[in-house]
Amino acid sequence: MSLFRPRLESATRPSAIPAEAVPPIADPAVGGRIQRTSTILNEAIMDSVSNVRDSIPEQHRAHFETLRQEIIDFAQAHNIPRESLSKPDALREAANKLSIPDLERLATLLERFEYLLVHHEPKKEDYTEALEYAEVHYHLKEQYDSQFAFLEQVGILENGTITGIDGKEYLIPTLEQIASRLFERRETLKTKHDQGFTKLLLVPFGMSLDSLQETLKQFLLSYKQTYSAFDLDINESLYTWSNYQGADIGDSPKLVYHPQSFTKEGHRGKTKMEVLQTNYKLPTLTPTQTSSPGWTVHLLQPSDPSNIDSPGFALIPKEGQGTPQGDENPRPPLEAGQSANEYLSILQKVQDDPCSPYSHESGMTPEDWIIAFMLHLQETGKPMDNWQNNTESISYLTGAFFPSSVAVPGAFWSRVRRQTNFVSSDPRSRDGNIGVRSSAVV
């Protein structure tokens, strides 16, 4: 029997739970459970710096923080004093005032949290079907664990969190959250999976772009030390157009995200701070919603879209060199040679059109490209978007825009200069060496 779950004889459910419907504290089984949960909550939720967290294995600490925050957010959203969470009588009284769905939600949260604290691992039954689905279709655990370790290795992740430009800490989405989201959207993403969009990419969007570019620079230098044959200009491994510096911070950021057009006025893009402020406080969360808006989770095509385990990411093919992917709705690749305006228009017009091979796709941001580039080099030993090899292309980053300059970000590897480059382009211009890499955001 679930904690606070009422015994109802009638099929008609009231909007609130009468006191007599709640199992009394005197009931030995339920009373003992409430008392045990109360003690745990007192230590794990009420303490600002919890010693309980440190007893959880490192790989499950992000899950601990997520559940803890969900309970706190739930209490706040339902006017339940936070201190009531650690007092059985007060918690029972507060539960009496909740509707049936809210009561179910609270019971589920408490049960999951208690299980984690007692067993030091998530309650697998809550995610079994989703985890099994994600493993079969995406080999999710291997991908997630690998990227989690990589983000720690390069100094982006610390105790499962990043610090955003707003000074807040953002937890990396947990394996269970991503699996649940993939399972929840399985029908929507079915076509994308068939087209080879199976490669996970975890992006710490909330971090400053300057910090991520510095991380990329240090990664390249470290990679050169490990692999001396890697041809890198160690004196200038990273070139950036001046407008990138501080582009996402300050009172008037130069860079906006998710633009609807590449025009100085009416672009409808949002600054990074606006994105974080819009999403930071979520309403009562369902088990599949993420409480980490500082992160973006993508699915991209791996280097061989027909092989889920192939390393790195698919290239942007030159005109006439792409190979369609998918059986049910074959997707011709977005080849190089069109303008940023044209690529944006293609993806926007068919965003929710299930008949289009490009539905549910969007362009990447500079933050996305940095993480993808580092992973690609780590996994393949080759730099991504090496356009001077006559096979790959420069990447428009159409998920972002410089309104004051009316310029679209772009990035590539220069084999001649032996460095990564962050540049910009006129959204109207066409170049046979420039294309777009798109992803499906989970």
Mean pLDDT of the chain: 85
Helix (H) or strand (E) holding 276: helix 272-279
Question: What pLDDT is recorded for position 40?
Answer: 58
At 287, is the pLDDT very low, low, confident or very high (cuts 50, 70, 90)?
very low
pTM, entire model: 0.76
Question: What pLDDT is recorded for position 338?
Answer: 98
At 400, is the pLDDT very low, low, confident or very high (cuts 50, 70, 90)?
very high
Q: Residue 351 pLDDT more than 80?
A: yes
For the residues 316-342, what does the mean pLDDT come to?
97
Q: Residue 152 pLDDT more than 70?
A: yes
- The whole-angstrom separation of Cα 305 and Cα 196 is 5
Query: What is the full DSSP assignment across 20-80?
Result: GGSPPTTSHHHHHHHHHHHHHHHHHTS-SS-HHHHHS-GGGHHHHHHHHHHHHHHHHHTT-
- The whole-angstrom separation of Cα 206 and Cα 187 is 29
Hey, which of 93-102, 127-136, 199-208 has the most confident mean pLDDT? 199-208
Question: What pLDDT is recorded for position 430?
Answer: 97
- The whole-angstrom separation of Cα 119 and Cα 126 is 14
Question: What pLDDT is recorded for position 39?
Answer: 54
CA-nearest of 280, 282, 293, 297 to 70 is 282
Question: What pLDDT is recorded for position 13?
Answer: 32
Q: Residue 34 pLDDT more than 60?
A: no
DSSP class of 135: H
On the CB side of 48, CA atoms within 13 Å amount to 0
Per cent of the chain over pLDDT 90 is 63
Helix (H) or strand (E) holding 277: helix 272-279
Q: Residue 179 pLDDT more than 80?
A: yes
- For residue 293, the SS3 value is coil
Residue 421, beta-bridge partner list: 239, 412
Helix (H) or strand (E) holding 375: helix 366-380
Q: Two tokens at 198?
A: 């199976």
Question: What pLDDT is recorded for position 26?
Answer: 33
Rounded to 5 degrees, φ, ψ at 174 are -80, 160
Q: Residue 281 pLDDT more than 70?
A: no
- The whole-angstrom separation of Cα 193 and Cα 308 is 10
Q: Residue 18 pLDDT more than 80?
A: no
Query: What is the full DSSP assignment across 337-370?
Result: TS-HHHHHHHHHHTTT-TTSTTTT-EE--HHHHH
Report pLDDT digits (tens) over 49-79.
467 777 887 767 777 877 787 788 888 888 8
Report pLDDT digits (tens) over 214-250.
999 999 999 999 999 999 999 999 999 999 999 999 9
> Does residue 383 contact residue 219 with C-beta atoms inside 8 Å?
no
- The whole-angstrom separation of Cα 40 and Cα 34 is 10
- The whole-angstrom separation of Cα 172 and Cα 154 is 15
Q: Residue 285 pLDDT more than 50?
A: no
Question: What pLDDT is recorded for position 3?
Answer: 33
Report pLDDT digits (tens) over 374-393.
999 999 999 999 999 999 99
Strand order from edge to edge, sheet including 419-425: 238-240, 419-425, 408-414, 394-396, 434-436
Rounded to 5 degrees, φ, ψ at 44 are -90, -25
Q: Residue 254 pLDDT more than 70?
A: yes
The residue written with tokens 């400053």 in the block is 208
- For residue 270, the SS3 value is strand
At 144, is the pLDDT very low, low, confident or very high (cuts 50, 70, 90)?
very high
Per cent of the chain over pLDDT 70 is 84
